[in-house]
Structure 1
Amino acid sequence: MVVLATAEEWSSLTSLLQKSSGDNGYQMASKSLGSKQVCDLMLEDHSISLHFAELKEDMPQEDMSHAIDDCFKSCRGGTSVFLLLIHGGYYTEKEKRMIEILQAHFGVEALKYVVILSVEDGKVIEALDDTLVDLINVCDGRYCRITTSTASGGLHALHEMVNNVVTENSSAGYTEGMLAESKKRSTEDSAMNMLRKKVQEAEEKEQAFMEMLQEQEERRAREMEELKARHAEERQKEAAEKRRHETRRESLQEAVSSHRSMLQLHLKAPDDDEAKKISVVLLGLSGSGKSSALSLILNREGNRYLSNGPGHDPVPPTVTCERKEMSAGGRRLVLVDTPELWDEDGVENVELVKDCLALALPGPHVFLLVLQVGRFTQGESEMLGHLQKIFGRELAEHAIILFVHFDGNQYRPQRINDYVSGAHPSLQELVRKCGSRYLELNVTRAVSALSYPQVKELLSGIHKLVASHGGRSFVVRRFSPQELQERNKMIAEWKEGSQEGNYLLRHE
């Protein structure tokens, strides 16, 4: 029998057998065969020969397989059975490893020829480990115990189990032919495993190659999409740049055309420099105070202020566009008063618009949006929209809101900043759209002398706004400078004819 055990377990077994030999009906003889130890046991009419080679726990698998194989070869001539020694019923990791190596070297069939012997000369486990029970079942229940007092009985049971192995397998135990067949299968299995490994490696390489191809395709697709996106972005930039260039070119052409027109007007001016005048247009609803504000501004030129009067004289509604001039800051200032330029349905009066722009030549430069303090109606909230439809959306960039306060106004005068900050949101939005440029003008006669600083501040604001636009006038593209110039001549001729008629009527 080939003993699978460590030196400690082998020593426990031989010590137990030595103590019990003679008186228990068996004889024991030990000898050494090189590195192996042999224990011969004589039981009445039969014998058991135990062959042992020390199996250390840290022994490499190959060395342990070689040691077991040497013991197996030394058993020639007898029944070859494998005896697994455990101590006190404990099935530890070292015994499990021995069984694994046994199967690896001798094949799974070797378990048919395994007998498990528990040497119990000390502490004994109460319940067998589940893995040991499983192994016993695989070995068809070949498990026996041996103690000092039952050594003979244990050996007889061991011999009986060996006979059962032979009977059940119809052989003389595990043979060299079985070992050769196991090695052959192992070699075939190794070759098959190697082949499987190579096939697996080839499949893995193929899969890796396919994944690499897919990744390359995906990368190329992404690069193509990115390239398309860059090309599209570049085309958009080129188109935007082209549009900006066209807009700039049109603006330059328009500026050149406007400059030429203004230059022609300048050359045709008889006495003064017409092109250097600043033109201001007063816009607003009827009754907002445009004409009253205009009168106060014109009075500022000659410092003509009234005081302590009962109130301002009523100003008749403006029905036509009127042009006034004054000097301010060393330059001539053109002031154009206007009636409402649209009717109740929001339809513009084109003729009045032409008159307004013609009289505002060489401008307009600034638009004064006149609002009465304390009055902000639906019509006034829509005023900027109407004006932008008439003159263009850029009008707000050239506009100043002028708040006018009258004697009869029910609102007590307050700081204009406080008035705006507490005003209706629609009025605040109007102020915001006009760049938050707003001033006030008090046309109350009782304090008209005190309005001088307000007029001065208004004129200063007009000059600053004109300077911020480089002195350029506001261009209304719907009418050409030539058309407005002809309109201006026509208005002048009409006024001249009207004045002559009035003169003749007065002297008839």
Structure 2
Amino acid sequence: MGSTEPSESSVMINEDPENEDEQELPELRIVLFGRTTVGKSTLGGIILGDSAAFTLSDPHGERTKTCHVERKTDSDSHSVVVVDTPGLFKMGSSEEDVVKEIKWATENVEPGPHVFLLVERLKIITSEELKALQVFERTFGKRAVAYVTVVFTHKNDPGGNEADIKEGMKDNEHLRELIERCQWRYFIFNIADRSPVQVTQLLEKITQERQDYSDFFYTPQMLQAAEKAANEERSKDDRRRKASENRLAILEKSGLLGIFLGSVVGYFSCGGELTPTSGALLGALLGMILIMGMTFSGICVFEKYHKK
């Protein structure tokens, strides 16, 4: 799990949510998440004004497996806390382990992050890139998507502007879906440009977006509610699956019973042009249809009664 021993620039935030200043945001808490090799750690370092904050050499690879928390405070006592999470879908890292780390960030950067920045490469948006958002929503709940802003990174790409994004949405359904699901909250960031102008614009955009919502930041309580809802949904799915399996088993048995009874009745009661054998076959078919129909009707009535 994420390191609980802060370095000199790391921090464990512990504030009272009621004291959060909604106008000035004296502290802005950011969690970065996304796939590997999209410039996530580089972006975090640029935001903090320290390009090496999340990209120092790490021979044991521990920084890529756990959350890393860093903080910057300016001369006006305004702070920015950035959490870099392990990359999703990285070889050697399970999705479950990465999700645990992102949960750790939510629970330990108290009282909760203002924004989750989903970092993606500009112009490389396919169904695979959408999976990061799907994993996030599955973990934190649909409500949490309101706290997600997509950051499209690039390196001096001349096509990295608003016009190109809107044009790309016409032809790329995955890009369009990503932006629409995040309600058009996105930012284009040139990670080859280390000037503070982009950072200022990004932080101002985040601050404005958060002031548009009554719930100013995502809390551990929201995460607990999402986990409870997910567990309940899984329980419902298990019950539906077991009920479906039981129905199939009952219908199979009733069909066999119908075949047997129909065969007996058809064999002994056939007349006219029907032979005992053909009568047995016809009786088996009719018996199976009749018994299975009665059984299915009985199952439907039973389930309807027990749902009330």
Q: TM-score, normalised by structure 1?
A: 0.39
Alignment partner for residue 3 of structure 1, among 5, 14, 32? 32
* One-letter code aligned to 1:3: L
Matched, 1:37 2:68: yes
* One-letter code aligned to 1:166: R
Gaps (5+ residues) in structure 1?
232-508
Matched, 1:75 2:119: no
- Aligned in 2, Cα 1:29/1:41: closer, same or farther, shift over 3 Å? farther
Within-5 A mapping of 1:293-308:
none
Distance 1:164 1:212 in 2: 67
Instruction: Kindly state the Cα deviation for residue 84 of structure 1 after the two structures are TM-superposed.
Output: 0.5
| Alpha-carbon contact 1:72-1:80 (below 8 Å) kept | no
* One-letter code aligned to 1:37: H
How many pairs were matched up? 224
Q: Look up the match of 2:138.
A: 104
**Structure 2 SS opposite 1:199:** helix
- Aligned in 2, Cα 1:75/1:151: closer, same or farther, shift over 3 Å? farther
Identity %: 19
**Structure 1 SS opposite 2:216:** coil
Distance 2:218 2:107 in 1: 11
Q: Look up the match of 2:25.
A: none
Distance 2:236 2:250 in 1: 20
Alignment partner for residue 220 of structure 1, among 264, 277, 285? 264
Larger CA Rg, structure 1 vs 2: 1
- Mean alpha-carbon deviation: is it higher for 117-126 or for 98-107? 117-126
Instruction: Kindly state the Cα deviation for residue 206 of structure 1 after the two structures are TM-superposed.
Output: 2.2
Distance 2:269 2:75 in 1: 94
- Aligned in 2, Cα 1:212/1:155: closer, same or farther, shift over 3 Å? farther
Distance 1:161 1:112 in 2: 14
Q: Look up the match of 1:13.
A: 43
| Alpha-carbon contact 2:112-2:220 (below 8 Å) kept | no
Instruction: Kindly state the Cα deviation for residue 105 of structure 1 after the two structures are TM-superposed.
Output: 1.0
Instruction: Kindly state the Cα deviation for residue 120 of structure 1 after the two structures are TM-superposed.
Output: 1.4
Superposed CA offset, 1:225-258 (max 9, x none): 7898369xxxxxxxxxxxxxxxxxxxxxxxxxxx
Distance 1:90 1:76 in 2: 34
Distance 1:151 1:224 in 2: 94
Q: Look up the match of 1:418.
A: none
* One-letter code aligned to 1:13: L
Q: TM-score, normalised by structure 2?
A: 0.61
Distance 1:89 1:44 in 2: 37
**Structure 1 SS opposite 2:200:** helix
Alignment partner for residue 141 of structure 1, among 176, 184, 188? 184
Distance 1:14 1:183 in 2: 28
**Structure 1 SS opposite 2:109:** coil
- Mean alpha-carbon deviation: is it higher for 139-148 or for 35-44? 35-44
* One-letter code aligned to 2:255: E
- Aligned in 2, Cα 1:134/1:183: closer, same or farther, shift over 3 Å? same
| Alpha-carbon contact 2:112-2:219 (below 8 Å) kept | no
Distance 1:73 1:29 in 2: 25
* One-letter code aligned to 2:241: K
- Aligned in 2, Cα 1:111/1:44: closer, same or farther, shift over 3 Å? farther
| Alpha-carbon contact 1:51-1:74 (below 8 Å) kept | no
Q: Look up the match of 1:86.
A: 120
More relative contact order in 1 or in 2 (CA 8 Å, sep 6+)? 2
Superposed CA offset, 1:284-308 (max 9, x none): xxxxxxxxxxxxxxxxxxxxxxxxx
Instruction: Kindly state the Cα deviation for residue 11 of structure 1 after the two structures are TM-superposed.
Output: 4.3
Instruction: Kindly state the Cα deviation for residue 100 of structure 1 after the two structures are TM-superposed.
Output: 1.2
Gaps (5+ residues) in structure 2?
1-29, 57-61, 278-308
Matched, 1:118 2:152: yes
Alignment partner for residue 48 of structure 1, among 77, 80, 84? 80
Q: Look up the match of 1:505.
A: none
